[in-house]
Structure 1
Amino acid sequence: MASPFSLPAALNPPITGREGVADAIYRCALAWDTNDTALFDSSFMPDGVFEVNDHTMNGLPEIHATGLALIFKLDTTHLVTNVRVHMGEDNEASLTATVLMQHFVKGKGMEPSQKSLMSGSLYYAELANDTDGLWKFKHLKIKSIWVEGDYGVIGDNFSEVGW
């Protein structure tokens, strides 16, 4: 579902080079925060790998069923910083970033004294320039460095997922 807070995946004028690579992480994070599946999909190759704390999801169908199902049931903000891009050869690149994430039970974030879960993570990604001109993740790896708050915000199935 498109959000009024999401711009189109392909911006005008088109962005290229390092800025285009970095845009993949920005599209991904904004998609999580706005529950925008189409924007999220624009950041991943169809057979992309999404790895969170050694839990691996392969391909968009599994990423949707496991990862997005968990994230989209929350109110979140993801603040992306310290983005570094290495341009490789043959339309490939790698990226690192630091991300601060805040999670609340959906619809409860604006209520006073709500439980929340905050975390700080390091991201590493391998990307390719797809045929549509957008840089997309072939592999996005997230390693949480610290967490603070209540894991119950994420729900009972959090421990089953193994994150």
Structure 2
Amino acid sequence: MSVPVHLTALSPREAVTDALYRAIYGADTNDLDMFNSALTPEIEFDLGGKIMHGAEEVRADIFGLIGPMDTLHAISNVRVHLTDDPTKASLTAYATNQHCRPGEGLDTAAPKYTAGVMYFMDLVKDAGDDLWKIQKWTIKFCWAQGDQSVMKRE
């Protein structure tokens, strides 16, 4: 099923939040175009202290691992801060993420890894396509359970 990158009639807060949703939906469905639409080329991504610089590195490290997995990120408690500058915003959110190796999501005996995290984002509005994009994304791990080896590349 094809899902559009650009949605119409979004409020300013919804448009900012949509950058987070595009990134997560893209990762969960292995949709690289959707994932890319949410990132600035110079994004700084902090995964619990592991810092990545640039969309290319984030695609290789994050999307390259998560995209093919059977995974789901459930987002909640989203708060958006619109600044006086109409091209800048920040966002915080909670997420519960469950990960399974590719093709093993429906296997009840397969190992799974679940984490509760907080997201902190700085976003900018791209004048070229009028979409909000993530410029800085910090992930703080709050808890985890399951088999962490699921998160290792084979």
Give the TM bin, normalised by the shorter chain.
Answer: over 0.9
Does residue 1:103 correspond to 2:99, yes or no? Answer: yes
The CA distance in 1 between the partners of 2:20 and 2:5, in whole Å, is: 12
| Amino acid paired to 1:41 | N
| Amino acid paired to 1:151 | Q
1:79-127 CA-partner distances (Å, limit 9, x unpaired): 0000000001321000000000000010011112111000000000000
The CA distance in 2 between the partners of 1:59 and 1:100, in whole Å, is: 25
The CA distance in 1 between the partners of 2:153 and 2:18, in whole Å, is: 33
Percent sequence identity is 37
The CA distance in 1 between the partners of 2:123 and 2:91, in whole Å, is: 8
| Amino acid paired to 2:140 | K
1:115–1:45 distance in 2 versus 1, CA, 3 Å = same
Aligned residues: CA RMSD: 1.3
> What aligned pairs does 1:1-163 form with structure 2 within 5 A after superposition?
4=1, 7-11=3-7, 13-90=8-85, 91-131=87-127, 132-155=129-152
Aligned residues: 152
The CA distance in 2 between the partners of 1:29 and 1:65, in whole Å, is: 15
Gaps of 5+ in 2: none
TM-score calculated relative to the size of structure 1 = 0.88
Q: CA deviation at 1:156?
A: 5.5
1:131-157 CA-partner distances (Å, limit 9, x unpaired): 111111010111111000001112257
Contact 1:74 1:154 in 2 (8 A): no
Q: CA deviation at 1:56?
A: 1.0
Secondary structure in 1 matching 2:72: strand
Gaps of 5+ in 1: 158-163
Runs of at least 4 residues off by over 6 Å: none
